[in-house]
Amino acid sequence: MSAAFSGSSSTSTNGTTNGVNAGRAGTATPLRHYIDVAVIGAGVIGLAVTDALIRRGVDVVCFDHRKPGQGQSGGLSRTFRTRHDSPHVVKLAADSRVLWREWERRSGKTLVGDEGTVYLGFEEEDAHGLRVNDVPHRFAAPAERAQLFSALGPVEGRLLHDPDSGAIRARNTIDALTGFTAGRIRPTEVHTVTVPADGDGVELQTADEIIRARHVVIAAGTNTPRLAAGVGIDIPLNCALHARPHYRIRNEHLANSQPCWVDKSGAFGETVYGSPIGTTGRYVFGLIGTGVDVPMDGNGAVPPGSAMEDHVRRVSEYVRRAMPGIDPEPVGVRVCVMTKLPGGSDAFGVWQNGGVTAVTGHNLFKLAPVLGEKIADAAVHERVPAEIVEATATAPA
Ligand SMILES: Cc1cc2nc3c(=O)[nH]c(=O)nc-3n(C[C@H](O)[C@H](O)[C@H](O)COP(=O)(O)OP(=O)(O)OC[C@H]3O[C@@H](n4cnc5c(N)ncnc54)[C@H](O)[C@@H]3O)c2cc1C
């Protein structure tokens, strides 16, 4: 897995308290402002880190030129699933589930539903991480399908059930985090991140000012590699587009809770993932595997003649074959940006160099509460916590 960690962390300190201060005693300059920690990006990860830093009493400012949650963290729904190939990532996910409940308590909102996740085409070895981390799960007989996932048609083979998981309410989550971090978000784009020649902290350039921070966290989604390159961190991130068509659950199944879904069996002609969209009566699917993302053009748009329409057609055909309880006519399609590392769709990385921590990868939404805590610790102690080193080192290559 591609996580690179290298030393030379900045040790400068400053005496700022809250917000962005104009200069330090004795070194005041109208051009530079000093803060302790700057977080770049108000997606779910940047907001989670900002919240965790605020709770540690840190002077933190989160920069984003867009409204929070307008990047990859946009939309209504994500899957929270505990199962991963790496037992270390399973542990992080299980810890994250506990922290999700804490976010729910603080916000007073449901953020992860109790729908559970059902997997088809998974064997005992796929549940290794769940077993060694004592995460509740079981293999159910095919005949139990109607109780576990009423919209699903008959299947051959056992179903793996991960009950302590469900559909993330993505928009509620962004709203909750925006509330937790109120007053710390600056509507400003950061153009560059560099280590200044005098070695005193890390410098951010915006259109209006130069900011010095003791530590900078880059959680800027697709822009993370470009910004991190300014401090010598090289991130091999591939950005591409992915179709997520959504469908209407048929009336007779609306009273039943439908779980999140991962089918790698290929029994219905495709490998797919899916998730209910909260309580909207809709269900979203996407393709899994190689070739299911479409390269974007120079403007980040779907290029003409791309395979995107064919992907939607393939998903609809899958729904028609596998899901009699769901109408296979799509009612909408969300085109999403995927940011994948060479390690695959569950791989993520945290890099640290010169007073900067950068984080990126894919499928990070479910891990946001635990990554927020760990990356806040990385910024405070200038060291990536061991759990993150293990989880990023053992993700499948
Ligand atoms: C189709 C799809 C399905 C997914 N399914 C799941 C799932 O089921 N489960 C799951 O856990 N995850 C899932 N994910 C992944 C998950 O949504 C992302 O990993 C997560 O939202 C990434 O959050 P982020 O905060 O890192 O990035 P983003 O949400 O992209 O946030 C980055 C922010 O940085 C800001 N920014 C960028 N450049 C600058 C700059 N120069 N200055 C200031 N601000 C800047 C942007 O405006 C943006 O708001 C899915 C993603 C997609 C696209």
Task: Note the pLDDT of residue 396.
Answer: 39
Mean pLDDT value of segment 388-393: 90
Mean pLDDT value of segment 247-274: 97
User: Which of the two residues, 9 and 74, has the higher pLDDT score?
Assistant: 74
- Look up residue 187 and give its DSSP letter: -
Give residue 269's region: left, alpha or beta (phi > 0; psi -120 to 50): left
Q: Whose CA is nearest to atom 2 of ligand 1?
A: 336
pLDDT exceeds cutoff 80 at 6: no
Those residues whose C-beta lies under 8 Å from the C-beta of residue 99, and which sit 6 or more positions away, are 369, 370, 372, 373
Task: Note the pLDDT of residue 23.
Answer: 47
Task: Note the pLDDT of residue 253.
Answer: 97
Q: 71 C-alpha vs ligand 1 centroid, how far in Å?
A: 5
Q: Whose CA is nearest to atom 48 of ligand 1?
A: 71
pLDDT exceeds cutoff 80 at 304: no
Using a pLDDT cut of 70, give the percent of the chain over it: 91
Using a pLDDT cut of 90, give the percent of the chain over it: 80
Coil, strand or helix at 348:
strand
CATH numeric code, 117-163+238-339: 3.30.9.10
Name every protein residue with a CB atom under 6 angstroms from any ligand 1 atom.
Answer: 40-46, 63-66, 70-73, 78-79, 189-190, 219-221, 223, 227, 242, 244, 286, 336-338, 362-366
Which CATH architecture best describes the domain 1-113+166-237+341-397? 3-Layer(bba) Sandwich (3.50)
State the Cα–Cα distance between residues 154 and 162, nearest whole angstrom.
Answer: 20
Residue 361 amino acid letter: G
Lowest mean pLDDT segment, chosen from 22-36, 106-120, 234-248: 22-36
- Mutation test residue for ligand 1: of 365, 366, 370, 371, the one with most atoms within 8 Å of CB: 365
pLDDT exceeds cutoff 70 at 104: yes
pLDDT exceeds cutoff 80 at 1: no
Task: Note the pLDDT of residue 123.
Answer: 96
pTM above 0.85, yes or no: yes
pLDDT exceeds cutoff 80 at 15: no
Q: Whose CA is nearest to atom 21 of ligand 1?
A: 73
pLDDT exceeds cutoff 70 at 151: yes
Task: Note the pLDDT of residue 31.
Answer: 65
Task: Note the pLDDT of residue 149.
Answer: 98
Q: 243 C-alpha vs ligand 1 centroid, how far in Å?
A: 16
CB 311 within 8 A of CB 332: no
Give residue-wise pLDDT tens across range 335-363. Answer: 888 898 988 889 999 999 989 999 999 99
Task: Note the pLDDT of residue 305.
Answer: 74
* CA angle (104, 109, 115) in 5-degree steps: 80
Ligand 1: atom nearest CA of 41 is: 34
pLDDT exceeds cutoff 90 at 168: yes
Mean pLDDT value across the chain: 90
pLDDT exceeds cutoff 70 at 216: yes
Mean pLDDT value of segment 155-167: 96
Q: Whose CA is nearest to atom 12 of ligand 1?
A: 363
Q: Quick one: pLDDT band at residue 30, thresholds 50, 70, 90? A: low
Task: Note the pLDDT of residue 297.
Answer: 79
Query: Where along the chain do its domains lie?
Result: 1-113+166-237+341-397, 117-163+238-339
CA 72, 254, 80, 184 torsion: positive or negative? positive
